[in-house]
Amino acid sequence: MDQYRETFNDGVLVYGHKTTQRSQTGKRIGEVFTAEGKLYYREMSCRQSDYELANASGSKLDIKVKTPYPPSFRKINKNKLLIQIDGEEYESINVDHDASKLYLFFYLQKVGGKSE
């Protein structure tokens, strides 16, 4: 079977982490998003099993996206990443890859959107 070229033209997501901001006296004054990179993505439809996976971990699945699998991602903890899409902030509930390890699937929950 020939490999077809996939398009990721739904947008660009920015991934990174939150870093704690401190005052000169060392007092914690907040957190700021620190971008570590960008990936083009394609929005995917969520299956019932995707929603069940999120609910089992006490999360709410808001969006599922597919991206190319960058080699640098093989060494980082993808489940601790924060994602920004169109100015909205998401936390990754789960990050999975396909069998060929060419693509990543991000299961995302909007920050502040915890399930009741």
Is 3 contained in some domain?
no
Query: Domain for residue 115, yes or no?
Result: no
Q: Which two tokens stand for residue 18?
A: 């939150």
The parent domain of residue 57 ranges over 11-110
DSSP, collapsed to helix, strand or coil, labels residue 40 as: strand
Of 113, 111, 61, which is closest to residue 83 (Cα–Cα)? 111
Determine what percent of the chain is predicted with pLDDT higher than 70: 93
Beta strands in the chain (DSSP E): 11-22, 28-44, 63-68, 82-85, 88-97, 103-110
- The pLDDT, as a whole number, for residue 116 is 41
- Residue 99: pLDDT band (50, 70, 90) is very high
User: What is the number of domains present in the chain?
Assistant: 1
pLDDT of 113 higher than 90? no
Mean pLDDT of the residues in the chain: 89
pLDDT digits (tens, 9 = 90+) for 47-65: 999 999 999 989 999 999 9
Give the tens place of pLDDT for each residue, 83-92.
999 989 999 9
